[in-house]
Amino acid sequence: MSKHHVTTSINGEPVEFLCKTQQTLLDVLRNELHLTGSKEGCASGDCGACSVIVDGRLVCSCLILGCEAEGTSITTIEGIAQGDHLHPVQQKFLEHAALQCGFCTPGLIVATKALLDENPNPTEEEARYWLAGNLCRCTGYDKIVRAVQAAAADIRGETVA
Ligand code: FES
Ligand code: FES
């Protein structure tokens, strides 16, 4: 079967890849491009472990095809930090012990960045609503929400007690 040639930008770098028609973007990221930070939890759009940002929109990479990435700009968990410099979301997740396992955390970090790009001052309710698509059965989400709000304050240039 012939493959599609896709030209895109991933984490600020021009990227070209070949993919089969039925390959999801998640499959391409993990198995063709070896960007394994995005995880496959459910493969059906329910868990958020595969979250990436495509042209500024938070999407489940298990729900779109690699072919659909043509001409888009994609941010994955690997592109959130700038070299050794953690993104404020990552820093605050660390400081607030909001890190969970390696399956849910990448998606939560990406989803939180997407939230704060769109709304730099979310209420607790807005943060919880936004992250409702990122499932973790092991936490009550309180530390995560505190980390989200601390990161938001940091990005706004405010200090929090
Ligand atoms: S793997 Fe994509 S939402 Fe669960
Ligand atoms: S699913 Fe990651 S800690 Fe619960």
| Minimal-distance CA residue to ligand 2 atom 1 | 136
DSSP string, the chain: ---EEEEEEETTEEEEEEE-TT-BHHHIIIIIS--TTS--S-SSSSS-TTEEEETTEEEETTSSBGGGGTT-EEE-GGGTSBTTB--HHHHHHHHTT----TTHHHHHHHHHHHHHHH-SS--HHHHHHHGGGS--TT--SHHHHHHHHHHHHHHTT----
CA of 40 from ligand 2 middle (Å) equals 13
Q: What percent of the chain has pLDDT over 70?
A: 98
Return the ligand 2 atom nearest residue 138 CA: 4
CB of 141 sitting under 6 A from ligand 2: no
Closest ligand to C-alpha of residue 99 is: 2
User: Mean per-residue pLDDT for 8-18?
Assistant: 98
Task: Name the pTM for this structure.
Answer: 0.96
Q: Which residue has the tokens 């939230």?
A: 115
Q: What is the pLDDT of residues 71-95, one digit of tens each?
A: 999 999 999 999 999 999 999 999 9
Select from 58, 28, 60, 65 the least CA-distant residue to 47. Answer: 60
CB of 47 sitting under 6 A from ligand 1: yes
User: Could you tell me the pLDDT band of residue 160, with boundaries at 50, 70 and 90?
Assistant: low
Residue 99 pLDDT greater than 90, yes or no: no
Q: Which of 138, 142, 143 to mutate to test the pocket of ligand 2 (most atoms within 8 A of CB)?
A: 138
Asked if 35 and 10 count as a contact pair (C-beta separation under 8 A), the reply is: yes
More reliable by pLDDT, 19 or 138 = 19
More reliable by pLDDT, 109 or 159 = 109
CA of 64 from ligand 2 middle (Å) equals 24
CB of 42 sitting under 6 A from ligand 1: yes
Please give the pLDDT value at position 100.
Answer: 77
Cα separation values, 161 from 50, 99, 127, 149, Å: 33, 20, 19, 12
Alpha-carbon radius of gyration of the chain: 16
Please give the pLDDT value at position 139.
Answer: 76
Closest ligand to C-alpha of residue 108 is: 2
Residue 161 pLDDT greater than 60, yes or no: no
